[in-house]
Amino acid sequence: MTVNLLDFDLPAMEAWFASIGEKPFRARQVMRWVHRAGVTGIGQMTDLSRGLRESLEAAAQILPPAVKLDSVAPDGTRKWLLDVGAGNGIETVFIPEAARGTLCISSQVGCALECAFCSTGRQGFSRNLSVGEIIGQLWLANRALGADHAVGHRPVTNVVMMGMGEPLANFDAVVSAMRIMLDDHTYGMSRRRVTLSTSGMVPWMDRLRDALPVSLAVSLHAPNDELRDRLVPINRKWPLKELLAACRRYVEVASAAPDDDDAGAEPESPPRHVKWQRQGAPRDFITFEYVMLRGVNDTAVHAHQLVGLVGDLSCKFNLIPFNPFPDAGFERSTPEAILRFQGVLMEAGFVTTVRKTRGQEIDGACGQLAGQVQDRTRRAQRREQVVVRS
């Protein structure tokens, strides 16, 4: 049975090469070909001997998800629907801006958390994605966008784990995929440019801090437990007091050390450092995401409660105008309400931004990703039964 080379971070690739009797530096060569050069076949790895290429072709392949649909919005936002088998599809979104390009990556087929305002949660849940299916989204985007590392052309400068699914619920695969993103033999991204968004899986936030502290965003969406229990049901398991304590633990070891690189190391030499083993988070603040729902969580009273909730925690707020989807049951806050809410937070001294809605015409905006989910939770079926009975 052949292996998928996209499934391996560097330690796993080295272990696999050792298992077939090859030296570890071969793993670094292959990682560079697969991710930096973006080759589609082992035959293109020209600095490997013919014999090694032939043996690898019999044992391994490069197998990203297949593209089912490629959509581009008028603002340049691009969304791919990717086939991950058994009738399931995931969505990946690229958001171009003047100074950067951000790729929003999915970690699961669907989502089991069922946040009230999220289209993905409405679809139910099928399974976790593999390492290859996660990093394959970046691999595909680079090829589609014409990345050329040889001349420094990198359309994707930032990655946000904010697509379909809860990343921390697929911890091991997500961490391995992010290790590949950071590896200087592959994409060489800074930990500041890789952001993981969580709804608040507290024990796994601590694990992430210890294993691979990237930039952290927390989907807050409510200033009190009563409201958050309704909007973000996982709050019933890890309420706000526990969530905020985990946020403090995440930033208390923050380090401003820059991410240098090991460019120039010989293939046989070990890298001078490993980025993900450094102590400390890459930023000394948490980003709180807050979707603005009309008449639900968007009043000045809510804003003042939010100020009291976070206290002196080092954080910034990103207010997200709600992006509608069929039968959502919520409406977007008015521009006036959003500005009033932002004003309260800024007057209290917090950096507060309002996210610009991008890709709404192709259902690529925040909260709109749905994909194609063969729901093992039967959530959609139960919802339909409730509607019929009512």
Which tens digits make up the pLDDT trace of 58-78?
999 999 999 999 999 999 999
Q: What's the pLDDT at 121? A: 80
**Residue 340, SS3?**
helix
CATH code, domain with 245: 3.20.20.70
Q: What's the pLDDT at 387? A: 38
User: Quick check: 240 and 228 in contact, CB under 8 A?
Assistant: yes
Look up residue 293 and give its amino acid: L
Domain boundary among 38, 61, 84: 61
Pair (311, 274) in one structural domain: yes
CATH code, domain with 15: 1.10.150.530
Q: Does residue 293 have a pLDDT over 50?
A: yes
Band (pLDDT 50/70/90 cuts) for residue 379 is low
Structural domain count, the chain:
2
Q: Does residue 179 have a pLDDT over 50?
A: yes
Q: Where is 232: in which H helix or E strand?
A: none
pLDDT digits (tens, 9 = 90+) for 180-238: 999 999 999 999 999 999 999 999 999 999 999 999 999 999 999 999 999 999 999 99
Band (pLDDT 50/70/90 cuts) for residue 303 is very high
Q: What's the pLDDT at 359? A: 53
**Mean pLDDT along residues 121-138:** 94
Q: What's the pLDDT at 77? A: 94
Pair (258, 338) in one structural domain: yes
CB atoms within 10 A of CB 82: 24
Pair (118, 174) in one structural domain: yes
pLDDT digits (tens, 9 = 90+) for 331-342: 999 999 999 999
Pair (13, 133) in one structural domain: no
What b/e string do you get for 216-234 counting C-beta neighbours within 10 Å, with b at 16 or more?
Answer: bbbbbbbbbeebbeebbeb
CA distances from 169 to 163, 248, 356 (A): 13, 21, 28
Name residue, tokens 């001078």: 272
Band (pLDDT 50/70/90 cuts) for residue 268 is very low
Q: Does residue 361 have a pLDDT over 70?
A: no
Name residue, tokens 């071969």: 26
Q: Does residue 388 have a pLDDT over 80?
A: no
Give the range of the structural domain holding residue 23, as residue numbers without chain letter: 3-61
Q: Does residue 273 have a pLDDT over 60?
A: no
More confident residue, 220 or 269: 220
Band (pLDDT 50/70/90 cuts) for residue 381 is low
| Short-list 107, 111, 354, CA closest to 208 | 107
Pair (221, 370) in one structural domain: yes
Pair (29, 158) in one structural domain: no
Average pLDDT, rounded, for the chain: 89
User: What is the C-alpha R_g of the chain?
Assistant: 22
Band (pLDDT 50/70/90 cuts) for residue 377 is confident
Residues designated catalytic:
91, 366
Taking each helix axis from N to C end, the angle separating 335-347 and 300-310, rounded to the nearest 10 degrees, works out to: 30
Pair (25, 115) in one structural domain: no
**Residue 38, SS3?**
coil
| Short-list 137, 165, 158, CA closest to 214 | 158
Among 47-51, 88-92, 379-383, the least confident range: 379-383
Pair (46, 77) in one structural domain: no
Band (pLDDT 50/70/90 cuts) for residue 18 is very high
| Short-list 277, 364, 373, 388, CA closest to 9 | 277
Q: What's the pLDDT at 269? A: 38
| Short-list 24, 22, 31, 15, CA closest to 52 | 22
**Mean pLDDT along residues 349-370:** 71
| Short-list 239, 243, 321, 228, CA closest to 286 | 243
Question: What is the percentage of the chain residues whose pLDDT exceeds 90?
Answer: 77
Pair (270, 324) in one structural domain: yes
Hey, which of 5-19, 108-122, 317-331 has the most confident mean pLDDT? 5-19
